Copies of this chain bind each other. A is one copy, B any other.
Amino acid sequence: MFAGTHTQTHHRSGPAINSGAVPFLSRVRPISLFAPDGEIYAQGETADALYRVEFGAVRVYRLHTDGRRQIVAFYLAGETFGLEAGRTHSFFAEATVHTGLARFSSFAGEVVTQELMTLALQSMLHAQEHILVVSRQSAIEKLGAFLLDVAERQGDLEHIDLQMTRVDIGEYLGMTIETVSRSFSKLRDEGILRLHGAKSVEILQPAKLALLCK
């Protein structure tokens, strides 16, 4: 089925899912499948395509020279990524779980400038929002902001299916997995959320959570 970094393609038969404000992405496309940790593109490769997440999730990251990994963004179902400033990728992109992607070649006239512009500005805004989150002092505030962000993007404010590990979350928020875990536990102990396993989060008091980090 899933074969590491190798991909297989098939055609979707169902109706097009929500594609936001990016009209060219609404066509039916072949879908590439990626296993967990499967590489989508690497730093230095030519950046000549965009990708829309059909299901699963993607981490975009960079490696520091000391070996640490900094995740710059996650992309969830329905979101589009792959646009970068130069001709080559400055980042790595990998699936965090079993993931399906639709690929759009930017050289085949499938992508017009106006749509690229929208995507670039969205990415810029998201990066700047992320700066605000990462530079927050408290670990709980970081995690809370992250959970609210994911909940909003998944369209369900009371239940979250995390598509990534504690390691991923830690590398995204700039803290260790132990601190991530402790923050989860603290939010649970305070009755703000309930955990059904590590990946399934139920937000019991969204308002209280928002108070902590907004």
Asked if A13 is at the interface (CB within 8 A of a chain B CB), the reply is: no
Copy total for this chain: 2
Bound Cα distance from A65 to B211, whole angstroms: 9
Identity of the chain B residue whose Cβ is nearest the Cβ of A65 in the assembled complex:
B214
A83 contacts which chain B residues (CB < 8 A)?
121, 124
Given known pairs A135-B134, A135-B174, A214-B65, the reply for A90 and B120 (CB within 8 Å) is no
A125 interfacial contact with B, CB 8 Å: yes
Given A65-B214, A113-B117, A131:B85 Cβ within 8 A: no
Residues of chain A from 118 to 143 with CB closer than 8 A to chain B in the complex: 120-125, 127-128, 130-132, 134-135, 137
Q: Which of A89-135 contact B (CB under 8 A)?
A: 90-91, 113-114, 116-117, 120-125, 127-128, 130-132, 134-135
CB closest chain-B residue, reference A121: B85
User: Is there a chain B Cβ closer than 8 Å to A72's Cβ?
Assistant: yes
Query: Which B residues touch A202, using CB under 8 A?
Result: none
**Chain B CB within 8 A of A70 CB:** yes
- Interface check A84, CB cutoff 8 A: yes
Nearest chain B residue, comparing its CB with the CB of A130: B131
Task: Give A117 to B122 CA distance when docked, in angstroms.
Answer: 12
User: Is residue A64 within 8 Å, beta carbon to beta carbon, of the partner chain?
Assistant: yes
For the complex, what is the distance from the CA of A137 to the CA of B135, rounded to whole Å? 11
Apart from A113-B114, A134-B135, what are 13 other A-B pairs with CB-CB below 8 Å?
A: A72-B128, A84-B124, A85-B122, A85-B124, A85-B125, A86-B125, A90-B125, A120-B120, A127-B127, A127-B130, A127-B131, A130-B131, A137-B174
